[in-house]
Chain A
Amino acid sequence: MMKSLFRFFVFLVTVSMLPSNADESPSEIKIYLSTTNPLTPLYLANYQTDSPYLIQLRDILQQDLNHDGLSSVMAHSEEKDAILRNENKNIAFHHLTWKAFGAAHVIVSKITNSILSISLFSVQTQSLKHLPPYKLSGNIAADRQVIHQASDLLHKLLYGKDGVASSRILYCVQMPGGSKSKPWVSEVWECDWDGANARQVTAEHSYCVTPVFLPSSTHNSNDRFIYVSYKMGQPKIYVASLNEGLGKRLVHLRGNQLLPAISPKKDKIAFICDASGRTDLFVQHLHPQSGKAETPQQLFSYPRSTQASPTFSPDGSKIAFVSDKDGSARIYLIPSEPSAKRAIPQLLTKKNTENSCPAWSPDGKKLAYSAKTKGVRQIWIYDFVTGEEKQLTDGPGHKENPAWAPDSFHLVFNSTGSEQAELYVVNLNQPETIKITRGPGKKDYPAWGKR
């Protein structure tokens, strides 16, 4: 009975959120709630402004907070805004007033002479904090970043964790190539976590796929990435900076090199390669600082089988990858250090068939992957702590290529269809998915990195 009531509640929450934003949660994608942590209610005060620009900035802040996985922004009311306009702070921020409204925190932002100031009142502790002032430029792309930074600082103050509002997503956009010799081209693009500020990074007029961020050795931004390009004909692995987008060859091997993954310490790259004539898993040691490469090594090969999609554990000692060596494609674990004899891989995913595209979470506790579920590819989560596999998404429409945000809590994935593919963001605590891409072209192979 309780289970049924809970499911009904989840359904109500899901449905009630659908119409709120045209870009959110297309009805075909639903999320199974694997956790039910309650969201913290925040009240975000309205500016007193008619400026569409300032209202847009406020909406960006609201969206950041509403989708951080831990907060729920309360509905606006003139009554609450009027209280906050009171110049007597003891009245504006009286804890009993806000407790009665059901708010755990109150956020007030003001913009004076292009300076954004934000105050955070915590009802329980009755403390009022002021964030450092932010200078706005009037350029929406730049000011979006300012709002995202403020949002992440608020997240840190509220929950003691880094937010992902300032992060960025790499992905590919496939478009018609306009010629018979190049019927399709695919380039690497970059956007903010919410899909805004989308811009093309590579301009190879070729076919680029599967970009992944190069880990930053200083915990700063991810400003380089590796990817596969067909610009030489055969797919090869390249490295490029986000500023220039000019690919430099990273792996020098014959044949096809596909599906690269790089260890978090930047000391190994794993990829799929057919240099031997089989479709094998390879690993290559790299110098973490210079990228100087050692001789590649065949890490896993098996007669009459296909290997695909390696992903490193956070400490770099293990690789999860896809193999069909035992029949249907499933995900296996193997040590990442090669030896003359291949290691015996450990079967990880057992619930479903046609498992693909595993992605190891940065905290090491989870593996996201796609699996065929009642005929549809859905995103699943393997929990390394419990050994359980849980379905995250539901509904029609294939979903593939999940990639974790740096917080190990948000995921981006792409839908796949013969004519349309878009990116969606979801977190593990909210039933809402956000469609973050729009416009022409098929968008796929997302990767999530720091800015």
Chain B
Amino acid sequence: MNHFTLKILLPGFIVALAFSSCQKKQGTVWDDNKTASQLNHGGSSLWGADGEDSSLAGPVAEDFIPLQEEDLKAQLADGAIPQPFETPGEDGSSLPNAAQFHAPSGELAAIFHNLYFNTDDHILRGQEQLSMISAAAAYLKAHPKTFVFVAGHCDQRGPQAYNLALGSRRANYIRTLLVERGVDPNQLHTISYGKEQPLDPRNISEAWSKNRRAEFKIFNKS
């Protein structure tokens, strides 16, 4: 997209965005619920308009107003691939609720096994874990109708509320690694459970290590 095209299309896009935004504001939230069908899941990007790595960005921002900071544009280096517009389980979504994504079994269990983090860390350590990411990426690229929830978990020792956020950061980091290896971002959703769902409730180091994890749940769209 050249500069001229941007100059012509961008104002139009902003006007369209304003209208779609107004559409979402019908009704009152305190009294009435909004439905997903009121949401406009379009495909243009405010970040993309700046011409920054839009091919890597996956789904783009239009349902929120992003900060315009240079240091936020290095997406892959920072685990910042915007989430898919589609919320599984929402009215109009082609994907079911996360509860209907299943734990990998059979051959998938060998590919999508749990990944583990160090304390208060969101980076994967060790070649073995990165190899698993590559294998998972290869599978997902070969199976574009397979969708994945990456669930981020923390151990019991951290603060409850903060861990809800940390779980999100871990899940997004794994998602970014997969996108970096060529997986369509729309195949990948994240969910954070913080420390609410430990695998091992014991209060020992071995249990904590098991609980600082990313888990995969799979759904095959026929």
**Residue positions of A touching B, CB distance < 8 A:** 174, 181-184, 186, 207, 209-210, 214, 224, 230, 232-236, 239, 248-250, 252-256, 258-259, 272-279, 282, 286-287, 289-304, 306-309, 322, 324, 329, 338, 340-342, 354, 356-357, 370, 377, 400-401, 416, 418-419, 444-445
B218: min CB distance to chain A, Å: 14
Is B32 interfacial (CB 8 A cutoff)? yes
A-B contact pairs, 27 of them (CB 8 A): A233-B89, A235-B164, A235-B192, A248-B32, A253-B64, A256-B190, A272-B164, A274-B169, A277-B75, A277-B82, A278-B72, A279-B166, A290-B30, A292-B29, A295-B65, A298-B65, A301-B67, A308-B161, A329-B159, A356-B162, A357-B160, A370-B159, A400-B160, A401-B160, A401-B161, A418-B202, A445-B160
| Cα of A356 to Cα of B38 in the assembled complex, Å | 36
Q: Which residue of A lies closest to B25 (CB)?
A: A292
Contacts of A259 in B (CB 8 A): 161, 164-165
Among residues 51 to 78 in chain B, which have CB atoms less than 8 Å away from a CB atom of chain A? Answer: 59, 61, 63-69, 71-72, 74-75, 77-78
Instruction: Check A338/B32 contact, CB under 8 A, given A234-B88, A292-B27.
Output: no
Given contacts A254-B83, A272-B165, A272-B168, contact A304 B78 (CB under 8 A): yes
Q: Give the residue name and chain of the A residue nearest to B191 (CB).
A: A234
Contact of B39 among A252, A301, A307, A400 (CB under 8 A): A252
Q: How many angstroms from the CA of A427 to the CA of B34 in the assembled complex? A: 41
Interface flags, B183-208, vs A, CB<8A=1, else 0: 00000011110001110011100000
B31 & A290 in contact (Cβ 8 Å cutoff) = yes
Q: Is the CB of A400 within 8 A of B159?
A: yes
> Is A301 a contact of B172 with CB atoms below 8 Å?
no
| Docked pose: A182 CA to B97 CA in angstroms | 13
Q: How long is the Cα–Cα vector from A264 to B102 in the complex, in angstroms?
A: 41
Answer yes or no: B210 CB below 8 A from chain A CBs: no
Report the nearest B residue to A235, measured CB to CB: B192
Residue numbers in A under 8 Å from B29 (CB-CB): 239, 248, 250, 286, 290-293
A287 to B32, CA, bound (A): 14
- The residue that B165 contacts in the complex, of A186, A249, A258, with Cβ under 8 A, is A258
Tell me the complex Cα distance, A148–B123, Å: 52
Nearest Cβ on chain B to A210's Cβ, whole angstroms: 7
User: In the assembled complex, which residues on chain A have CB atoms less than 8 Å from the CB atom of B203?
Assistant: 418
A292 close to B99 (CB less than 8 A): no
Q: Does B140 contact A (CB under 8 A)?
A: no
B134 an interface residue at 8 Å Cβ cutoff? no
Nearest CB in chain A: distance from B86 CB, A: 8
Interchain CB contact under 8 A, A276 and B66: yes
User: Chain B: interface secondary structure?
Assistant: loop
Whether A254 pairs with B84 at a CB distance below 8 angstroms is: yes
The 8 Å CB contact of A184, one of B74, B160, B197, is B197
* Most chain A CB atoms below 10 A, which of B59, B67, B101, B156: B67
Known: A233-B88, A277-B82. A340 touches B172 (CB 8 A): no
Enumerate chain B residues within 8 angstroms of A292, measured Cβ to Cβ.
25, 27-29
Tell me the smallest distance from the CB of B153 to a CB of chain A, in Å.
13
Interface centre among A277, A290, A299, A307 (most CB of B within 10 A): A277
User: A357 and B161 in contact (CB under 8 A), knowing A258-B192, A277-B82?
Assistant: yes
- Judged by a CB distance under 8 angstroms, whether B132 is at the interface is no
- Residues of B near A341 (CB, < 8 A) are 67-69
A184-B196 CB under 8 A given contacts A291-B28, A295-B65: yes
With A254-B85, A419-B201 as known contacts, state yes or no: A274 contacts B168, CB within 8 Å.
Answer: yes
- Per CB-CB distance, the 4 closest pairs between chain A and chain B, nearest first, are A233-B98, A291-B29, A356-B159, A290-B28
Given known A-B contacts A234-B98, A277-B172, A278-B79, A356 and B161 have beta carbons under 8 A apart? yes
A37 to chain B, nearest CB (A): 31
Is B21 part of the contact surface with A, judged by Cβ < 8 Å? yes
B69 neighbours in A (Cβ, 8 Å): 301, 341-342
Contacts of B192 in A (CB 8 A): 235, 256, 258, 274
Report A-chain residues with C-beta under 8 Å of the C-beta of B149. 233
Q: Are A256 and B191 in contact (CB under 8 A)?
A: yes
Contact for A276 among B25, B27, B61, B198, CB less than 8 A: B61
User: Which of A230, A232, A377 has a CB less than 8 Å from the CB of B90?
Assistant: A232
